[in-house]
Structure 1
């Protein structure tokens, strides 16, 4: 087993624990996502729309990352597979 495989094996339980905690506190995470939207609007207003596309991209990525922890079994069929994920069985 290589160094990366050892790291993945040790990281797996931590990832599962974070996912369990995220599911338990889903309501707080929803509030956090609303806060991200509010902060993005404020920054967009302060920059007068100059960085709107970058702000939207960053906001979307942050919210998607949180959603993956809250709903780890729900996968986006258009998203590329994450390292270590198994392909669906036929």
Structure 2
């Protein structure tokens, strides 16, 4: 069964929460949007996350938090996958 999402819900689940540790010890928070850069004529693309520069400027580590889906593609609203970049 396909899950029906409102336009607002689709936007919420196409974003990722970003937390970034600053050089001076502070923390920036923001969001990023998923975007696909077209690579070849076969339609393949490179997935990227686009955010504002101020979210990641002068940072030493960034954390990203994504909402998971189950095997049938339904959202697991309270289940997340988190990863860090140094």
Same fold (TM over 0.5): no
In the superposition, the TM-score normalised over structure 2's length comes to 0.27
Q: Which of the pair has more CA radius of gyration?
A: 1
Which of the pair has the greater relative contact order for Cα pairs under 8 Å at 6+ separation? 1
**Relative to total residues, which structure has the larger helix share, 1 or 2?**
1
